Amino acid sequence: MKRRALLRLAGAAGVWAGQLGAGRAATGAKPRVVIVGAGWGGLAAASALTRDSETFDVRVFDREREFRSLPLANAWLVGRTPLRLPPLDLATLARRQGWRFDAAPVQAIDRARREVQAGGERIGYDALVLATGAVGDPAAWFGDDARAASEARTRFPAGFEVGELETCRQRLEAFAEVGGGTLLMTVPPAPYRCPPAPYERAALIGWWIKTRRLKAKLIVLDAGGGMPRFNRLFGERYQAQIEHRLHTPVRRVDPFRKTVTTDDGEERFDHALLLPTMHAGALVREAGLLGRDAQGAATRWAAVDAGTLRSPHDERVWIVGDAMDNVSPLFGAYPKTAHIAADLGAAAAAQIGAALHGARDAAPAALPRSLCHVWLDAEPAEQLILDASFRRRGDGLIVQSVRQTDNPQPRDEDLQWARELMAQRLGVSLG
Ligand SMILES: Cc1cc2nc3c(=O)[nH]c(=O)nc-3n(C[C@H](O)[C@H](O)[C@H](O)COP(=O)(O)OP(=O)(O)OC[C@H]3O[C@@H](n4cnc5c(N)ncnc54)[C@H](O)[C@@H]3O)c2cc1C
């Protein structure tokens, strides 16, 4: 984000805009922006807020020390590709871009005092960006049985959170080394992160079982109806390797006996990739920032105003990325993808820039785009390109269009996409 662009947005005002950093401006101090989450959304916001100016005092918190990419990880999990995006050391990136990084989980948000609590410290903010992503919520399967939840997470991680990726890969390898058996994978009710990711993963595991000649079967217990393109593919190419059961939500899991229960009965497994229903995480819930459904019940996601990217509960809080609740009655939530998180991180930075500079009638947040290159098959390589774009129609509602194109001869377009997104949004050039 160019300083000029921030200042252009700064020409106009929200009700409170201009007061946001006003107290600190009087003392000559920069307005403080705290960002929770150094994933695609949080890093894009930090990079945009610090790119061309020293206007803000930006502090980023993440419980991980490194940024690792979930995009491109499925092919690496089964050894189809090497790790194609190297991990980024967050402290080094922070020094280069001019923001401060703390490797610590944020434990609580005190909205009344405008402070977050992390590592025994209370840190004040003028604007808070929540880019905490999406996490599995074991409560639906385990209630308050923390031992069972921890056992499932440790032994059968789904690899849908970066901290689980390495273990997920090692456990798959161990499953192969003992000769296979029944491998179970759960697909939770939507929304979850990256809608095609479980199906891409299943197709690649089908290939992995076949080429490694494992005596194994992948059973996919899918709470929803799948994706037509993959539903066909599993039946046509991987009938011996994949059994895909649609509309089969998992009701209970016993990680000690290695069983799951569905409405059809109990299923035993030798290894599993257990992905529970996803949500925005405890921090968002405990801060009272969840959305409401039509019946007034709390949703699993952070409420957000799609025009400003602010929380409707608190004008000092911006929400970006996977944590976001619905943005349009026409399609619900944005797809939970890295591309959208990164675009919205930059858009939130522009909104904050406008607010902190006392903008009047700030323009609505720029709409994101999502381009996904998804493996359909591994050998010969075949991919599917999912291109989701958004526009505001006359009444202001956001409309989504999705184009799906086959790419029968991929030539690293996925890698190129990821590198371009990192350069454009995260300010990271991989050379
Ligand atoms: C297997 C797989 C493949 C995917 N492939 C693609 C793809 O090809 N293209 C695509 O666009 N998207 C893809 N995605 C989706 C993409 O990874 C997510 O949409 C993206 O990571 C969302 O970005 P985010 O910033 O919202 O969340 P994240 O990138 O998850 O970042 C959130 C960060 O917040 C941190 N955090 C959370 N709570 C706290 C706290 N209390 N204190 C401190 N830190 C905290 C977490 O540690 C994390 O680093 C894929 C996802 C998966 C699982």
**pLDDT tens across 334-368, in order?**
999 999 999 999 999 999 999 887 776 679 999 99
Neighbours of 423 (CB within 10 A): 12
For ligand 1, atom 33, the nearest C-alpha belongs to 37
CA of 145 to the centre of ligand 1 (A): 26
| CB of 367 shorter than 6 A to ligand 1 | no
Give nearest CA residue, ligand 1 atom 46: 37
**What is the CA(236)–ligand 1 centre distance, in A?**
32
The band of 5, judged by pLDDT with boundaries at 50, 70 and 90, is very low
> Which residues, 6+ apart, have CB-to-CB distance to 81 below 8 Å?
72, 75
Separation of CA 71 and ligand 1 centre (Å)? 9
Cα 338 to middle of ligand 1, angstroms: 7
Q: Is any ligand 1 atom within 6 A of the Cβ of residue 279?
A: no
Closest atom of ligand 1 to CA, residue 134: 30
Phi and psi, residue 383, nearest 5°? -130, 165
pLDDT value of position 21: 60
Calculate how far, in angstroms, residue 425's C-alpha sits from the geometric centre of ligand 1. Answer: 15
Contact between 411 and 392 under an 8 Å Cβ cutoff? The reply is no
* Ligand 1 touching residue 385 (CB < 6 A): no
Residue type, 381: A
CB-ligand 1 contact for 280 (6 Å cutoff): no
Structure-token pair, residue 32: 């403080």
Pairing of strands 57-62, 100-103: parallel
Q: For 243-263, write each residue's pLDDT tens digit.
A: 999 999 999 999 999 999 999
Q: Given ligand 1 and candidates 68, 125, 194, which is best to mutate, with the most ligand atoms within 8 Å of its CB? A: 194
The structure tokens 């402070």 sit at 115
Q: With pLDDT > 70 as the criterion, what percentage of the chain qualifies?
A: 93
Q: Is 62 in the pocket of ligand 1 (CB under 6 A)?
A: yes
Backbone angles phi, psi at 248, to 5 degrees: -125, 75
Amino acid symbol at 199: Y
Confidence (pLDDT) at 55 = 85
Testing ligand 1's pocket by substitution, the residue of 84, 129, 278, 337 carrying the most ligand atoms inside 8 A of its CB is 337
Per-residue pLDDT for 280 more than 90?
yes
Give the Å distance between the CA of 191 and the centre of ligand 1: 14
> Does 22 have pLDDT greater than 70?
no
Which residues make up the CATH 3.50.50.60 domain(s) of the chain? 3-134+280-366+411-426, 138-276
Those residues with Cβ within 8 angstroms of residue 268's Cβ, 6 or more apart along the chain or in another chain? 182, 257, 258, 259
Query: CATH fold of 138-276, please?
Result: FAD/NAD(P)-binding domain (3.50.50)
Residue 316: predicted pLDDT: 96
Mutate to test the pocket of ligand 1, among 34, 35, 36, 40 (most ligand atoms within 8 A of CB): 40
pLDDT, greater one: 361 or 275:
275
pLDDT in tens, 144-175: 999 999 999 999 999 999 999 999 999 999 99
Does the Cβ of 197 fall within 6 Å of ligand 1?
A: yes
User: Which helix (H) or strand (E) is 33 found in, with range?
Assistant: strand 32-36
Does residue 14's CB lie within 6 angstroms of at least one atom of ligand 1? no
pLDDT of 11 > 80? The answer is no
The crossing angle, in degrees rounded to 10, of helices 40-50 and 90-97 is 20
Q: Measured in angstroms, how far is the CA atom of residue 324 from the centroid of ligand 1?
A: 12
User: What would the two tokens of residue 264 be?
Assistant: 């059809």
pLDDT at 249: 97
d(CA 268, ligand 1 centre) in Å:
30
Question: pTM for the full model?
Answer: 0.94
Reply yes or no on domain 3-134+280-366+411-426 having CATH 3.50.50.60. Answer: yes
Ligand 1 pocket check for 188: Cβ under 6 Å: no
Quick check: CB of 105 below 6 Å from ligand 1?
A: yes
| Separation of CA 55 and ligand 1 centre (Å) | 27
pLDDT, residue 431, reads 79
Give the closest residue (by CA) to ligand 1 atom 34: 37
Alpha carbon distances (Å) from 296 to 148, 293, 304, 334: 31, 5, 15, 21
| Predicted confidence (pLDDT) per residue in 394-422, tens digit | 999 999 999 999 999 999 999 999 999 99
Q: Model confidence over 85-138: pLDDT tens digits?
A: 999 999 999 999 999 999 999 999 999 999 999 989 999 999 999 999 999 999
Ligand 1 in reach of 428 Cβ (< 6 A): no
Cβ(69) – ligand 1 distance below 6 Å: no
In angstroms, the CA 215 to CA 178 distance is 10
Helix (H/G/I), strand (E/B), else coil: 15: coil
